[in-house]
Structure 1
Amino acid sequence: MTKPLRVGIMGAGGIARGAHLPNYKKMGDRVQVVAVADVIEEKAEECARIHSIPHFFSSLEEMLDQVELDAVSVCTPNKFHAPATIAALKAGCHVLCEKPPAMTSEEAEEMARTAKRQGKILTYGFHYRHSPEVETLKRFVDAGELGEIYASRVYAVRRRGIPGWGVFTNKELQGGGPLIDIGVHMLDSALYLMGYPEPELVMGAAYQKIGNRKGVGLMGEWDWKNYSVEDMARGMIRFKDGSSLMLETAFAANVEKDDTMQVTLMGDRGGADVFPLKIYQEKHDTLLDITPAYLPKKNYHEVEIERFVHSCLGLTSPLSTPEQGVILQRLIEAIYQSAETGEAVKL
């Protein structure tokens, strides 16, 4: 029997407790979560007690120095993704880093270089890639059912969904608001389905119109007096192959639905909306709407953790790559840069 993968968790907050830890446990004897670290030691201790983790620490350095690990889940605020990931890779660990990859494209590039140099797996928490809708549509795309995908649209918009917990509204720790938090999921899903084309030109706009004043919160009360991120971002990306992508994302916007996450693809042989999955084609002089009769219902995070563990054990390959993380980070950075300067950004 293969030895279990020895995993350490960096960051004992909500994403670690709600997504990583319970799904590592579902892997049974293939995984042992042996340590957790958090800069607030009491959080690490509490997490270790609740989840029966034998070791807890107040720093990643202590954890890497004192416990033998094969892999690390990086579940910190965005500001600490790069340093934690690089340190874990240098210590000989595979890394699953939560999204977004980093705060800057330079950090993402250094993370990719380190993973390559160390010969270790680095993959990111783009859990929507592991949804049955995306997995199914990818098979159709790869089989040529949509033909040449020349246009796509990304939509991740909440009516009043500013998180009332964590550091989601703190630009210094997060790097931005909805674009870097929820928009990144739909953007990655679209790019993945399109084959991650190379970007050429980016235009963006960002707005802070609602989050910096008191209002109705559908995800708890947020600290509106210290709200430092955008509450809406919009962008357009043109790729070197001639295709384009339109993006809209918001924590708060005056729209009808409370929460919408959607990717739309348009190809010369077919198109699709992803959530829920519907494919549009023209065949035999007939316009068709195609919907799957059945899709498996499995938690996206569960599939993500399972794939990460299996890739660390050499049973499969990771779904997202460090190079894709670099492209994604460049696009996020370029949208923010264009929004700030009012000019298009060439990549």
Structure 2
Amino acid sequence: MSALTPSPLRVAIIGAGQVADKVHASYYATRNDLQMVAVLDSHLDHAKAFANRHGTKKAYQDLQTLLREAKPDIVSVCSPNRFHYEHVMAALEAGCHVMCEKPPAMNPKQADEMRLAARKAGKVLAYDFHHRFAQDTQLLRDAVQSGTFGEIYVTNALALRRCGVPGWGVFTNKALQGGGPLIDIGIHMLDAAMYVLGFPKVKSVTAHSFQRLGTSKSSGQFGEWDPKTYTVEDALFGTIEFCNGGILRLETSFALNIREQSVMNVSFCGEKAGATLFPAHIYNDVGGELHTLLKRDEADDQRHIRSMDAFVRHVQGEPVMIADAEQGLVIQQLVAALYESSEKRERVALC
């Protein structure tokens, strides 16, 4: 290789599951300036099969051995939620930039320690909150900044499934996941909403959660599960109150008797106009008639790619937006407050 051409950045992936396969490895393979050199999984046979599929040199079962031998520059953390903290911290300590799947960790204390470790190491720590990278999301964020809506005082974030309990992995295991639909799918719409709003300061949180269906059913849209080992919530409904007086209402479920099979969207109500996010549609009322200010026909399906691309470009020094450790901590704090409120059945103050 020419002395003028930098060597490709070395990439390792922790966790050989679906998101690592379909998103992280698939994206890294499209770039000539990156080289996948290692993969780790708690099941070595899974790691070896993953390595064979993607032409990765080495498969590992021990993280410290991987970091010592493969010497990656970038690490993707795609392990179960329970292990995000230890895997991110080890990678940062080894001098790696890190792209971590959501949620950041199991609790705000861990997320804060990860944030501080990235700052101390001078490395990029990003989270794959990919819905904020849809063109729809950026269009609405730009509209907020330009004053199109005036003050937004009501936001509704929905991440609902009628019977979409994941029948694979550890999604029904609270000890390994930290929770159910809130920490799995609700967190995505929460991040998208907070990003569009510009991360306003939060005053308080109230929430109610329910476990009525997952422990009595055993199959649904995404396969089968064991109701005897189902330890997460079916659904959670929360209200976040901002210091500016506005509110964000969040509804999320794995199982809920609703008409639609799935709903993943956010709506915004402002003084001058309102909007829905996917696909982006901005509107107001003129004389009792709906007046459209902006409308996209289809939601953007390249958001995963844009999320990964932004991370790599940020690692390479470009000042592009990423879902960074600071914002990841805020989202983790909100998730924790929603769970705390639902468990205690009381309001949780955050300022």
Shorter-normalised TM range? over 0.9
Taking a change above 3 Å as real, the CA distance of residues 101 and 287 of structure 1, as seen in their structure-2 partners, is: same
TM-score normalised per structure 2:
0.94
Distance 1:10 1:157 in 2: 29
Of 175-184 and 322-331, the range deviating more from structure 2: 322-331
Q: 1:5, 1:32 within 8 Å by CA — same for their partners in 2? A: yes
Q: CA deviation at 1:286?
A: 6.8
Matched, 1:206 2:209: yes
SS of aligned partner of 2:160: strand
Q: Which deviates more from structure 2 when the two are superposed, residues 188-197 or residues 135-144?
A: 135-144
Q: Distance in 2 between matches of 1:215 and 1:80?
A: 27
Residue aligned with 1:264, SS: strand
**Counterpart in 1 of 2:227?**
224
Q: How does 1:282-297 map to 2 (within 5 A)?
A: 282=285, 287-293=290-296, 297=300
Matched, 1:179 2:185: no
Residue 329 of structure 2 is matched in structure 1 by 326
The whole-number CA distance in structure 2 between the counterparts of 1:120 and 1:215 is 43
Q: Which residue of 1 aligns with 2:10?
A: 6
Correspondence for 2:55: 52
Offset at residue 97 of structure 1 (A): 0.5
2:28 to 19, 24, 28: 24
- Residue 65 of structure 2: aligned partner: 62
Distance 1:297 1:236, change over 3 A: closer
* SS in structure 1 of the partner of residue 295 of structure 2: coil
Unaligned runs of 5+ in 2: none
Distance in 2, Cα, partners of 1:299 & 1:331: 27
Q: State whether residues 205 and 233 of structure 1, in contact with CA within 8 Å, keep that contact through their aligned partners in structure 2.
A: yes
CA deviation vs aligned residue, 1:14-52 (integer Å, no higher than 9, x gap): 1101211111112x2021111111121111111101110
The DSSP-based 3-state class of the residue aligned with 1:238 is strand
Q: Is residue 314 of structure 2 the alignment partner of residue 302 of structure 1?
A: no
Match of 1:258 in 2: 261
Answer whether contact 2:205 2:238 (CA < 8 A) is retained.
Answer: yes
Q: Which moved more, 1:179-188 or 1:128-137?
A: 128-137
SS at match of 2:240: strand
Contact preservation (8 Å) 1:8, 1:35: yes
Q: 1:293 to 1:210 in 2, by over 3 A?
A: closer
Partner residue of 1:38 out of 13, 38, 41: 41
Kindly indicate whether residue 168 of structure 2 is the aligned counterpart of residue 165 of structure 1: yes
Report the RMSD for the aligned CA atoms in angstroms.
1.7
Change (3 A) 1:210 1:269: same
* CA deviation map 1:228-260 (0-9, x unaligned): 000100101111222211010000000000010
Deviation at 1:339, TM superposition (A): 0.8
Identity of aligned residues (%): 42
Aligned counterparts of 1:81 and 1:216: Cα–Cα separation in 2: 28
Q: CA shift at 1:224, angstroms? A: 1.5
Q: Is the deviation greater in 169-178 or in 131-140?
A: 131-140
Query: 1:216 offset after TM fit, Å?
Result: 4.4
- Asked if the contact 2:136/2:299 (under 8 Å) is kept, the reply is no
Q: Are 2:99 and 2:128, in contact at CA under 8 Å, matched by a contact in 1?
A: yes
Deviations 1:302-332 (CA, angstroms, capped at 9, x unpaired): 1111111111111233421211111111111
Q: 4+ residue runs of structure 1 moved beyond 6 angstroms?
A: 283-286
Unpaired stretches in structure 1, ≥5 consecutive residues: none
User: What is the CA-CA distance between 1:282 and the residue it aligns to?
Assistant: 4.8
Whether the 8 Å contact between 1:169 and 1:177 is mirrored in structure 2 is yes
- The Cα offsets for residues 175-226 of structure 1, whole Å up to 9 and x where unpaired, read as 0000000000000000000111121111011100000013541111112121
Select the residue among 87, 90, 93 that pairs with 1:90.
Answer: 93
1:281 shift after superposition? 2.5
Aligned-partner Cα distance in 2 for 1:297–1:184: 19
The answer to whether the 8 A contact 1:232-1:249 is kept is: yes
Q: TM-score normalized by structure 1?
A: 0.95
Displacement after TM superposition at 1:146 (Å):
1.3
Distance 1:118 1:279, change over 3 A: same
Q: Counterpart of 1:102 in 2: which secondary structure? A: coil
Distance 1:345 1:315, change over 3 A: same
Pair 1:280-2:287 in alignment: no
The code of the aligned residue for 1:150 comes to: Y
